[in-house]
DNA sequence: AACATGATCAACT
DNA sequence: GTTGATCATGTTT
């Protein structure tokens, strides 16, 4: 059994989005399920910042889809992409700002059996590799939009700390606007990182 | 390198 | 109400 005692406090999510994205690497994402706990170490994130970021869904103001992004830090924003996959974000900064961190990949730690069922594949290395896979492995979808990451059912814990040398910073993946900004963070050389192009 | 797949949004009638 | 472009992707060849 894993120690879930050091739960991340709310203050953490009010920090600047880039900082939160960087600091999320190494933390444990935990979700309570019928059989116990699903848990994974966050390995890869992307920041979507408030100003001059045209790839941010909130950049052109509030819409039906992106409402959750304008909540205060610590709220979960989930949406569907390409009509197929779900992407999970954690809202950052203050109420009304409109920024968040996308969780792109994680390393399974607990509840592997259930993740395998959720995903329909058994390759451990790929269970949570890529934003769509992460959402599916944890069974997160539109029903989880607007939930809090400070819940009893879904929360983050301290787990591992990495130095800046162990973390790579690159442009984000799969976007066409503001594609040059260095807002993607991942653990260098980790096989759970989603893109093959860099540092994997 | 191709493609499956559908919601969302802006810009119209 | 409808249209059409776009999309924080993943899987398969």
| pLDDT (tens digit per residue) in A28-68 | 999 999 888 999 999 999 999 998 899 999 998 999 899 99
Q: Exposed (0-12), middle (13-18) or buried (19+): which is A101, by Cβ within 10 Å?
A: buried
Residue nearest C10, CA–C1′ metric: A132
* Å: A166 CA to C8 C1': 24
| pLDDT (tens digit per residue) in A82-128 | 999 999 999 999 999 999 999 999 999 999 999 999 999 988 889 99
Give the Cα separation of A186 and A105 in Å (integer).
9
Query: In the predicted model, is pLDDT for residue A81 greater than 50?
Result: yes
> Nearest nucleotide to A61 by CA–C1' distance?
B9
Enter the tokens of residue A177: 């606007």
Task: Read off the pLDDT band of A18 (50, 70, 90).
Answer: very high
Residue nearest B5, CA–C1′ metric: A83
* Å: A104 CA to C4 C1': 29
Residue nearest C6, CA–C1′ metric: A82
- For all residues of chain A together, what is the average pLDDT? 92
User: A74 with A149: CB under 8 angstroms?
Assistant: yes
Determine the pLDDT at residue A187: 95
* Å: A36 CA to C13 C1': 39
pTM listed for this prediction:
0.93
Closest to A30 (Cα-Cα) out of A121, A151, A182, A161: A151
Percent of chain A predicted with pLDDT > 90: 82
Strand B: which bases are under 7 Å from protein Cβ? 4-10
Cα dist. A94→A23, A146, A155, A195 in Å?
18, 15, 19, 31
Which comes out higher in pLDDT, residue A199 or A50?
A50
Give the Cα separation of A181 and A116 in Å (integer).
34
Determine the pLDDT at residue A118: 94
* Å: A82 CA to C3 C1': 18
The answer to whether strand B lies under 7 Å from the CB of residue A81 is yes
Strand C: which bases are under 7 Å from protein Cβ? 6-11
Determine the pLDDT at residue A2: 67
Neighbours of A92 (CB within 10 A): 30
């Amino acid at each position: 059994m894993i120690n879930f005692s050091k739960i991340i406090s709310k203050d953490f999510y009010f920090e600047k989005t880039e900082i939160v994205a960087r600091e999320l690497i190494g933390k444990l994402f935990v979700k309570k399920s019928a059989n116990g706990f699903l848990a994974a170490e966050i390995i890869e994130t992307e920041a979507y910042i408030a100003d001059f970021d045209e790839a941010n869904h909130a950049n052109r103001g509030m819409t039906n889809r992106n409402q959750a992004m304008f909540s205060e830090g610590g709220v979960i924003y989930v949406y569907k992409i390409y009509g197929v996959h779900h992407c999970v974000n954690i809202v950052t900064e203050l109420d009304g700002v409109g920024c968040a961190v996308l969780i792109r990949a994680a390393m399974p730690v607990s509840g592997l059996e259930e993740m395998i069922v959720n995903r329909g594949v058994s390759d451990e290395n790929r269970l949570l590799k890529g934003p769509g896979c992460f959402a599916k492995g944890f069974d997160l979808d539109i029903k989880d939009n607007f939930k809090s990451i400070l819940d009893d059912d879904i929360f983050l814990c301290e787990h591992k700390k990495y130095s800046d040398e162990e973390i790579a910073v690159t442009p984000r993946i799969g976007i066409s606007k503001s594609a040059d900004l260095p807002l993607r963070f991942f653990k260098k050389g980790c096989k759970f990182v989603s893109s093959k192009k860099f540092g994997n």
